[in-house]
Structure 1
Amino acid sequence: MTFQLVWWGTLLLAARPNSKGMIVGEAAVFLFIVLVGAYYMHKTLSKERKLHQQQKNFLLSVTHELKSPLASIKLYLQTILKRDLEREKQKGFINNSLKDIERLDDLVENMLMASQIESNSYSFPKEEFNFSDLVKQVAERLQVHTCSSQIIMPEVEKGIKIFGDKFALTSMVTNLVENAVKYSPPCAEVKVKLFKKNGEVHFVTADSGIGISDLEKTRIFEKFYRVGSEDTRKTKGTGLGLFIVKQVLDKHQATIKVKNNQPSGTVFEVIFNAHAN
């Protein structure tokens, strides 16, 4: 196209030498429009390629997230049926199956909520409730997913109430605590804090994992976004958790900060302003 433009310009200049200024000006404007169009086309195509890759990673991770607990549940139930196990052994297998079912339930809830948020079909019904009790319950439930020597350390100030959507905020707390557990080394300590400061409600999770680079911190709340690729990433996840966290907090006029933990790891700090009591 550029070559054709130069050729046309040369012919016009040869035919109309007195119109050199006008021809050069028009050619420059045309070339500018072409370059701007090419830039935005490249930008759009790059965005589409990136979205396609993220969706591919999402499908890979969801397949793994579904297949792993289902295979585990199937194995436990087959063992119970085929072997004459002691009562305590059966209870242990059933409890492990229930843990895997909870994992599946959390995954399905995340997918449903992400879909409803994106389609603006979720209304976020709000009420006053005890946020301290909610955080303690989530921490206790997720503790059973960790190894026997790993500790989720809840430091929860009693009696903190907020006005919000209890179901959505339960999902927010669950995703942040699960994130801290997933990205912590085996049997490491995970801190979960809830307290009031200067009239604001602070909810904090801290892990001692590999941390998040400053460049990644600007993107971790995007839908489907995860650090690395599904082929090399060892941690489980779908890339929906932090997307849901950010969307839920935006609907509650709350803020979230991502900071580096010391000596390693990541700290997520949620601050409720207007609706904190």
Structure 2
Amino acid sequence: MKRALFWLYLLAFYALCQLISWGYIFIKYVPERKGMIIGEGMIFLAIFIMAVIRLKKHLEHERNYHQQQTNFLLSVTHELKSPLASVKLYLQTILKRDLDREQQQMFLGNSLKDIERLDYLVENVLLATKLENRSFSFPKEDFELTELVNNVVDRLQKNACKSQQAIVGQIEPGVMIYADKFAITNVVSNLIENAIKYSPPCGHINVLLKKQDDKIIFEVADFGEGISEAEKKLIFNKFYRVGNEATRKTKGTGLGLYIVKTVLQKHEASIRVKDNTPNGSVFEVIFGNYAS
């Protein structure tokens, strides 16, 4: 990237020198056309400067995108290796040691949680790949959104905290929707997983599902550190993660909210981020035309 910018600046300097040189020669030998030469030279210079600025921005964008892809690959590698190593260790312990039934059940339960993490990661990557294909269409069907949200909450509740209920649901019964069940499951899972990741240990997560007129409202609220106004505009970008690589401690690939935003756009639904009280964030999803 630095080499490309160096050559860009060198080319711009060379072109500018040539413009001044040819302008001087034209004015010297055709002085009566001095005004026209200066005018056209200024127009050319303005267009040239604008082109250089746009090219520089494009190169910087490519550099940032490449860096994000590199971070994504590193994150995915870590996300894959960590649960695999954990499952391997649990199974080796079960095979090599004479454990009682309760210990075996605990180790197998922990292994299942790690496998669910792997499954969640693979689903995200597969769905993100499908979304890149513009011809991909969502197979929609009527299903009960209430049941889907309850199932996701129950699954994540087991992994969120052992000492107390971490996810508090206000879920209206019998809410139906016409949508892609797999994609919407991914949306619900990503938003609740995200809230858990950015909340204090055993912090409460509020999940709301209700029908309001002809709309369906789904909200996930956490009481973490919250999201700054500047980052609210960026969090739905592909590979983007809150914070910087040096200080970030939470796990993730930067795909979750990108998938959420893209899936909802495909379903003509909207999402917005609000500040929670006294602290934290609220992700509000509104389904309109797809309410059944």
TM range (shorter): over 0.9
Residue aligning to 1:273: 288
Residue aligning to 2:153: 139
1:216-266 CA-to-partner distances (Å, cap 9, x unmatched) read 111111111112233321011101111111111111111111000111111
The question of whether the paired residues in 2 share the 8 Å contact of 1:172 and 1:248 is answered with yes
> 4+ residue runs of structure 1 moved beyond 6 angstroms?
none
1:5 aligned onto 2:19: yes
Output the CA distance in 1 between the equivalents of 2:112 and 2:67.
33
1:108 aligned onto 2:122: yes
1:7-35 CA-to-partner distances (Å, cap 9, x unmatched) read 22222212111111111112112212211
Task: Say which is worse superposed, 108-117 or 1-10, in terms of deviation.
Answer: 1-10
Give runs of aligned pairs for residues 55-94 of structure 1, distance below 5 A. Answer: 55-94=69-108
Residue aligning to 2:7: none
Identity rate, percent:
58
Output the CA distance in 2 between the equivalents of 1:82 and 1:113.
38
Output the CA distance in 2 between the equivalents of 1:246 and 1:133.
22
Output the CA distance in 2 between the equivalents of 1:26 and 1:181.
61
Q: What is the TM-score normalised by the length of structure 1?
A: 0.97
The question of whether the paired residues in 2 share the 8 Å contact of 1:210 and 1:265 is answered with yes
Output the CA distance in 1 between the equivalents of 2:179 and 2:37.
64
Residue aligning to 1:168: 183
SS at match of 1:144: helix
Residue aligning to 1:47: 61
Output the CA distance in 2 between the equivalents of 1:3 and 1:254.
54
SS at match of 1:202: strand
The question of whether the paired residues in 2 share the 8 Å contact of 1:132 and 1:160 is answered with yes
In the TM superposition, residue 121 of structure 1 has moved relative to its aligned partner by 5.0
Which of these residues, 250, 257, 263, is aligned with residue 278 of structure 2? 263
Q: Which amino acid aligns with 1:2?
A: L
Which of these residues, 196, 204, 216, is aligned with residue 189 of structure 1? 204
Output the CA distance in 1 between the equivalents of 2:137 and 2:69.
26
1:96 aligned onto 2:97: no
Q: Which amino acid aligns with 1:95?
A: G
Q: Which amino acid aligns with 2:88?
A: K
Which of these residues, 240, 243, 256, is aligned with residue 241 of structure 1? 256
Structure 1 residues 105 and 121: CA distance shift in structure 2, 3 A? farther
What is the aligned length? 277
Q: Which amino acid aligns with 2:115?
A: I
1:93-143 CA-to-partner distances (Å, cap 9, x unmatched) read 001000000000000000000001111353211111110000000000011
Output the CA distance in 2 between the equivalents of 1:61 and 1:246.
21
Output the CA distance in 1 between the equivalents of 2:20 and 2:247.
49
Q: What is the TM-score normalised by the length of structure 2?
A: 0.92
Residue aligning to 1:129: 143
Which of these residues, 181, 194, 197, is aligned with residue 179 of structure 1? 194
Task: Say which is worse superposed, 33-42 or 93-102, in terms of deviation.
Answer: 33-42
The question of whether the paired residues in 2 share the 8 Å contact of 1:61 and 1:230 is answered with no
Consecutive unaligned residues of structure 1, counting only runs of 5 or more, are none
Q: Which amino acid aligns with 1:184?
A: S
Residue aligning to 1:156: 171
Output the CA distance in 2 between the equivalents of 1:167 and 1:6.
62
